[in-house]
Amino acid sequence: MALKTDNEGLDNPAFHMDEQVIGQLSGQPKTNDVKFKEDVDRNKPTYCVTDVPSWYLCIFLAIQHYLTAFGGIISIPLILSEGLCLQHDSLTQSLLINTIFFVSGICTLLQVTLGVRLPILQGGTFALVTPAMAMLTMPDWKCPAWTQNASLVNTSSPEFVEVWQSRLRTVSKKKRLDKVLNEDGEVSASGPEYFIFPQLQGSIMVASILQVLVGFSGLIGFLMRFIGPMTIAPTVSLIGLSLYDSAGDKAGCHWGISAMTAVLIILFSQYLRLIQVPLPAYNKSKKLHTSNFFMFQTMPILLGLAVSWLVCYLLTIYDVLPKDSAEYGHLARTDVKGNVVSEASWFRVPYPGQWGVPTVNLAAVFGMLAGILCSMAESVGDYHACARLSGAPPPPNHAINRGIGVEGVGSLLAGAFGTGNGTTSFSENVAALGITKVGSRTVILLSGIFMILMGVLGKIGAVFATIPTPVIGGMFIIMFGVITAAGISNLQYVDMNSSRNIFVFGFSLFSALVIPNWITKNPGYLQTGITELDQVLRILFTTHMFIGGFFGFFLDNTIPGTKGERGLLAWNQVHLEDSTCSMVSEEVYDFPCGIAASVQSRSWIRYVPFCPRKNGDPQKKQETAEAPQSTCV
């Protein structure tokens, strides 16, 4: 049987997981070997879920979690900006960045307090980026060609403002201007009446309602019976593979800078991850002293971006990079977006409907549903991994149902605020729990507060938006490559000596690359005579992960095969394993602030899928009696 591993790193994979954590999460068979027992003891968390570290340690670890999620969070608005014609408008990009940080902070607070109640940080999901870009790049909605050329874009010109506002905002003049250059180099306008981003917002909100219903109704357990590694592997892999165009376009602005960024991230995350950096520290016993910190392991992406940014700045001030916007390498200059920080406001609070009233597009709803289903399956795996690393017992059904439901509420908020995305658990932050050995949810609560503050400070978002384009391209190459590999890693659960499994995975993956490519090149062939149906089919058939996930799901559930061959036995066994630091389940997963006691006194509460069982329930009494006390140190 293949090794059993956790569903780790599917959305935004961790770049910094130490060897001991990997060994534990790989589910290697338990033996009586003394060394293995010592490794398990070493992996016990210092602080469990309900513990509260000292205030200064809470602040430090909260900032660390924020920095860990940094790369994945800012990547999403930077990708969406291409479909919104904003790749050369850094000021508007900064508004999207602030919004997604703000909403991610709110969703984190909701998840930790009312959701699954584990120390899981919430953020945007790449599972919704693919269908969103499929929608934004449809022939009728595609950005005008001239907006792709930095030398032709003047972000303050009325023509450009009209282009992006007609896509991003619901403005009074209800007409989208499709800008093209005529023979004299002047701008002319024509085009249908569309407001794409409000449609994207509304479609995310409608799709997230399904997630709310699936979570709070308890249907997620039923769905997971049919979704296994052979469905998850091609679906998640295609999230990364489908974004190669975006990574290539940005990296191609200056391949030297992009390669340097990629090499730096690889150096920090892989080769230097175990190097400790002495930093000044202070406490009452030792006074002022030095403390070793795994800096490269904790924030490799941020360090890689910072060093590359500095190099670009030096090349700019010494005029090594070309000043002419038409020349190769111009977008690597740091003064291209130099006025963004000064123009951005100090404080700006995002609010629902800031881009206009959300509307609904049926085609986009179907595309978003595919991403929502992928995100739900991924989150269930993250809950179990987080419980193990944070010293909590495996999450009961009511906690999983509540967690998925709250993620649906978070995606609903994300759609209303206008992030252009939803929300999901961040797998890389789950991995960080294994590094720090601190599983306290107080730390994640504080990290959520930090994200809200960063979302309100307009200058912070503006600083992130000024990152040179090829630097972003180098980061994308690393991140999307690891996402692809993380999806393929789910195949370790299944028997890959089976010709059945080889066929299912190979056909699902290759079909999902061929079909969208052909539809994109030949959009005229997909016409039924019904405009709405044409849009639905076009978005679905150009969404790589939908096609891969559909074929993987259908073939895996219809072609005969044993549960062991399909990987379902290993997949389920991982989720049933005990954590390294157990405690009574109700301490972790019950409602906070005395709500559980008042709710559980109702006789009907046993029929509510997302509420914990009352104390008098025989099954819960047995679970409580059998659960060992916390072994945290």
Q: Over the stretch 296-310, which tens digit does the pLDDT of each residue have?
A: 876 788 888 889 999
Between helix 544-558 and helix 229-241 the angle, nearest 10°, is 160
Sequence-ordered strand ranges (E) for 85-217: 122-123, 178-181, 187-190
State whether residue 178 is helix, strand or coil.
strand
What's the average model confidence in pLDDT over 143-161?
66
Q: Give percent of the chain with pLDDT exceeding 70.
A: 77
Per-residue pLDDT tens over the stretch 34-57? 444 444 455 577 778 888 887 877
pTM reported for the whole predicted model: 0.74
Which amino acid would we find at residue 106? I
What is the DSSP code (8-state) at residue 173? Answer: S
Q: Is the pLDDT of residue 446 over 70?
A: yes
Q: Are 172 and 392 in contact (CB under 8 A)?
A: no
Per-residue pLDDT tens over the stretch 378-399? 788 788 878 877 878 888 888 8
Give the pLDDT score at 590: 79
Q: Is the pLDDT of residue 11 over 60?
A: no
Characterise 411 by phi-psi region: left (phi > 0), alpha (psi -120 to 50), beta (else). Answer: alpha
Structure-model confidence comparison of residues 405 and 225, the more confident one: 405
Least confident range of 175-189, 427-441, 516-530, 581-595: 175-189
For Cα atoms 407, 485, 489, give the angle at the middle one, nearest 5 degrees. Answer: 80
Buried-exposed string 19-30: b where 16+ CB fall within 10 A, e elsewhere: eebeebbebeee
Buried-exposed string 517-542: b where 16+ CB fall within 10 A, e elsewhere: eebeeeeeeeeeeeeeebbbbbbbbb
pLDDT confidence tier of residue 258, bands split at 50, 70 and 90: very high
Q: Is the pLDDT of residue 205 over 90?
A: yes
Structure-model confidence comparison of residues 32 and 418, the more confident one: 418
Structure tokens given for 24: 């534990």
- Residues 309, 92, 412, 370, CA torsion sign: negative
Least confident range of 62-76, 213-227, 237-251: 62-76
Q: Is the pLDDT of residue 573 over 80?
A: no
Q: Is the pLDDT of residue 237 over 50?
A: yes
Residue ranges covered by each domain of the chain? 19-27+40-144+196-338+360-574
State whether residue 425 is helix, strand or coil.
strand
